[in-house]
């Protein structure tokens, strides 16, 4: 995917992934598709206390993959994902800035530093 454009198919794919995770009762507090300055491609960023509760980060990715596999979501369709802990400065700042208004869904971010990261572009699914 072009690093400068998030296309609607990717936005839809991210929404589908979040729906699958919700159905699997994985509590995701922060979900956004974002192009961060330190990566050359878009990432689906996810954070949640349940993911923090895994002993290792690999286990958190395993929880996601297990839920996606159970729903029949093809590995090849899975975008690059980035799981961040709830205490990550980026996640904490997103929640502080946007988590209280309850209207973050569909919000476009970009050209700004939040926490310890610079967002070139982003699309928000959830910040709570």
Is 3 within the bounds of a domain? no
**How confident is the prediction for the chain on average, in pLDDT?**
92
Is 49 within the bounds of a domain? yes
**DSSP label at 75?**
G
Is 58 within the bounds of a domain? yes
Which has more pLDDT, 63 or 41?
63
Is 1 within the bounds of a domain? no
pLDDT at position 2: 45
Kindly tell me if the per-residue pLDDT of 4 is higher than 80.
no
Give the C-alpha separation, 33 to 87, whole Å.
19
pLDDT tens, 19-47? 999 999 999 999 999 999 898 889 999 99
Long-range interactions of 65-69: CB distance < 8 A, separation 24+: 66/24, 67/20, 67/21, 67/23, 67/24, 67/26, 68/17, 68/20
């Amino acid at each position: 995917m072009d690093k400068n454009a998030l296309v609607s198919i990717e936005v839809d794919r991210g929404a589908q992934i979040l729906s699958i995770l919700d159905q699997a009762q994985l509590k995701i507090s922060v979900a956004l598709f974002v192009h961060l300055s330190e990566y050359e491609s878009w990432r689906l960023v996810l954070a949640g206390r349940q993911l923090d509760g895994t002993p290792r980060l690999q286990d958190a990715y395993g929880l996601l993959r297990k839920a996606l596999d159970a729903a029949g979501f093809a590995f090849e369709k899975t975008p690059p994902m980035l799981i961040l802990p709830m205490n990550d400065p980026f996640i904490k700042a997103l929640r502080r800035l946007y988590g209280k208004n309850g209207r973050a869904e569909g919000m476009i971010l970009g050209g700004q530093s939040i926490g310890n990261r610079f967002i070139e572009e982003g699309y928000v699914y959830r910040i709570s």
